[in-house]
Structure 1
Amino acid sequence: MKMVSMKNVCALLFLGVLCCISSVTPTGNISKGTADGSETWGYVEVRPGAQMFWWLYESPNKPNHTSKPWPTILWLQGGPGESGVAYGNFGEIGPLDADLKSRNSTWLQKADLLFVDSPVGVGFSYVEDRSLCAKTDLETTIDLMTLLKVIYDGNETTESRPFYIFGEHYGGKVALTLGLAILQATKTEELKLQLEGVALGNSWISPEDYVFSWGPLLKDVSRIDEVGLNQSNRFEKVYKILALKIQDQIAKEEYEYATDSFFSLLNVIYDRSNDVDLLNFLLDDRDDSSFMTTKVSKRLGNKHYAMVSETNSTDYDTLMDGPIRQKLKIIPSHVEWGEQSIYAFVAMEDDYLRPRISEVDELLSKGVTVTVYNGQLDVICATKGTEAWIKKLKWDGLSTYLNLRRTPIYYGEDKSTTKGFFKSYQNFAFYWILEAGHSVPVDQPFVSLEMVGNIMNTLNV
Structure 2
Amino acid sequence: MMMHWFVIIIFFISFHASNSAGIVIKYLPGFQGPLPFYLETGYVGVDENEDVQLFYYFIRSESDPDHDPLMLWVTGGPGCSSISGLLYEIGPIQFAADRYNGGLPTLILRPDSWTKTASIIFLDVPVGTGFSYARTTLASRSTDIQLGDQANEFMRKWFESHREFASNPFYVGGDSYSGITVPIITQYISDGNEAGNEPYINLKGYVLGNPMTFPEETNYQIQFANGMGLISDELYKSLFHKCHGEYRSEYISTSNTECHQNLEWYQECIRGIEKLHILQPCCATGNPLIKLPTQKLLNEHRPPPSSKCSSDIRICLVYYWLNEANVREALHIRKGGRPTWIRCSLDMNFTRTVYDVRPYHLNLSKKGYRSLIYSGDHDMHVPHQSTQAWIKDLNYSVIDRWRSWKLNGQVVGYTESYSNMMTYASVKARYLNVLISKGAKRVN
TM norm structure 1 = 0.72
Tell me if 1:324 matches 2:327.
yes
Mapping 1:18-37, distance limit 5 Å: 27-28=18-19, 31-34=22-25
Q: Which sits farther off after the overlay, 106-115 or 329-338?
A: 329-338
Counterpart for residue 406 of structure 2: 410
Residues 24, 31 of structure 1: 8 Å contact kept: yes
Q: How far did residue 448 of structure 1 move?
A: 5.0
Does the CA contact (< 8 Å) of 2:84 and 2:343 recur in 1? no
AA partner of residue 196 (structure 1)? K
Offset of residue 325 of structure 1: 1.4
- For residues 53 and 447 of structure 1, the distance between their equivalents in structure 2, rounded to whole angstroms, comes to 28
Q: Secondary structure at the match of 1:143?
A: helix
Residues 429 and 450 of structure 1: CA distance in aligned 2, closer, same or farther (over 3 Å): farther
1:186 partnered with 2:188: no
Cα offset for 1:405? 2.6
- Between the aligned partners of 1:450 and 1:372, the Cα distance in structure 2 is 20
Match for residue 166 of structure 1?
Answer: 173
Give me the whole-angstrom Cα distance separating, in 1, the residues matched to 2:163 and 2:272: 51
Deviation of residue 205 (structure 1)?
Answer: 1.1
The aligned residue for residue 370 of structure 2 is 369
Alpha-carbon distance change, 121 to 61 in structure 1, aligned in 2, over 3 angstroms: same
Separation in structure 1 between the aligned mates of residue 16 and residue 365 of structure 2, nearest angstrom: 39
Alpha-carbon distance between aligned partners in 1 of 2:204 and 2:181, rounded to the nearest angstrom: 16
Counterpart amino acid of residue 319 in structure 2: D
Cα pair distance change 1:219/1:204, threshold 3 Å: same
Structure-to-structure mapping, 1:80-159, within 5 angstroms: 80-84=78-82, 86-99=83-96, 100-128=107-135, 132-153=139-160, 155-159=162-166
What is the RMSD computed on CA atoms of the aligned residues?
3.5
Task: Quote the Cα distance in structure 2 between the aligned partners of 1:436 and 1:287.
Answer: 21
- Report percent identity of matched pairs: 21
154 and 55 in structure 1: CA distance in 2 versus 1, 3 angstrom threshold: closer
Verify: 1:432 aligned to 2:396, yes or no: no
> Equivalents in 2 of 1:130, 1:339: separation in Å?
21
When residues 362 and 334 of structure 1 are mapped into structure 2, their CA distance, relative to the original with a 3 A threshold, is closer
**Alignment equivalent of 2:345, drawn from 328, 332, 341:** 341
Closer, same or farther: CA 239–140 of 1 in aligned 2, 3 Å: farther
Higher relative contact order, chain-length normalized (CA < 8 Å, sep 6+)? 2
Q: Pick from 208, 213, 218: which aligns with 1:211?
A: 218
Q: Is the 8 A contact 1:278 1:294 kept in 2?
A: no
Report what 2:413 is aligned to: 420
Alpha-carbon shift at residue 111 of structure 1 (Å): 0.6
> Which AA in structure 1 matches 2:351?
M
Q: Partner amino acid for 1:343? A: D
Deviations 1:341-367 (A, max 9, x none): 1123x622444xx01011111111101
Tell me if the contact between 2:239 and 2:263 (Cα under 8 Å) persists in the aligned partners. Answer: no
Quick one: which of 208, 229, 252 aligns to 1:222?
229
Counterpart of 1:70, as a letter, is D
Q: TM-score, with normalisation over the residues of structure 2?
A: 0.75
In the alignment of these two chains, the number of paired residues is: 378
Partner of 2:308: none
Q: CA deviation at 1:244?
A: 7.1
Match of 1:252 in 2: none
Does the 8 Å contact 2:288/2:343 carry over to 1? no
**2:248 aligned partner:** 243
Q: Indicate the SS of the match to 2:95.
A: coil
Do the aligned partners of 1:410 and 1:420 also contact (CA within 8 Å) in 2? Answer: yes
Q: Do the aligned residues in 2 keep the contact of 1:141 with 1:178 (CA within 8 Å)?
A: yes
**What secondary structure does 1:280 align onto?**
coil
Tell me which of 49, 52, 72 is aligned to 2:51. Answer: 49
Partner of 2:390 in structure 1?
389
- Please give the secondary structure, in 2, of the residue aligned with 1:212: helix
Structure 1 alignment gaps of length 5 or more:
1-22, 249-264, 299-309, 455-461
Go from structure 1 to structure 2 and tell me whether the alpha carbon gap of 1:385 and 1:24 turns closer, same or farther (over 3 Å shift).
Answer: closer
Alpha carbons of structure 1 residues 385 and 378: separation in structure 2 relative to 1, 3 Å: same
Superimposed CA distance per residue, residues 229-266 of structure 1 (whole angstroms, 9 cap, x where no aligned partner) = 7x995798579564274599xxxxxxxxxxxxxxxx99
